[in-house]
Structure 1
Amino acid sequence: MTTLPGWMHPPREEGWLAEDLDHLHEAPRHTELIHGGLVFMLVPRRSGYSRAVHRLTCALEEQAPEGVVVEQEITIRLDAHNRPEPDIVVTAVPLDKDRTWHAPDDVLLVIEVVSPESAYRDRTVKPRKYAEAGIRHHWRVEEEDGEPVVHVCELDESTGAYRPVDVVRGTLHLQVPFEIKIDLPGLV
Structure 2
Amino acid sequence: MIPPRPSGWEADDLDHLPQAPRHTELIDGALIFMMSPQRSWHSRLVENLTFALRQAAPEGFEPEREMTVRLDKKSRPEPDILVTTAAYDPDRTWYAPTDVALVIEVVSDESADLDRSLKPFKYAQARIPHFWRVEDEAGVPTIHIYELDTMTGAYVATGIHRERLKAAVPFPTDIDLNKLVP
For this structure pair, what is the TM-score category when the shorter chain's length is used for normalisation? Answer: over 0.9
Deviations 1:62-92 (A, max 9, x none): 1111121110111000000100000001011
Structure 1 or 2, whichever has the larger Rg, is: 1
Query: 3-state DSSP class of the match of 2:102?
Result: strand
* 3-state secondary structure, aligned to 2:109: coil
Q: Secondary structure at the match of 2:110?
A: coil
Mean CA deviation greater in 65-74 or 120-129: 65-74
Answer yes or no: is the 8 Å Cα contact 1:123–1:140 preserved in 2. Answer: yes
Classify the secondary structure of the residue corresponding to 1:67: coil
Q: Identity over the aligned pairs, expressed in percent?
A: 59
Structure 1 stretches of 4+ with a deviation exceeding 3 A read: none
In 2: Cα distance, 1:58 partner to 1:100 partner: 21
1:96 maps to a residue whose letter is D
Matched, 1:90 2:79: no
Distance in 2 (CA, whole Å) between partners of 1:120 and 1:80 is: 22
- Whether 1:56 aligns to 2:45 is no
Q: 1:108 aligns with which of 101, 104, 107?
A: 101
Helix, strand or coil: the match of 2:9?
coil
Question: Number of matched residues?
Answer: 181
* TM-score, length basis structure 2: 0.98
TM-score, length basis structure 1: 0.95
Look up the match of 1:26.
19
Q: 1:47-76 CA distances to partner (integer Å, 9 max, x unpaired)?
A: 010000000000001111112111011100
Structure 2 residue ranges without an equivalent (≥5): none
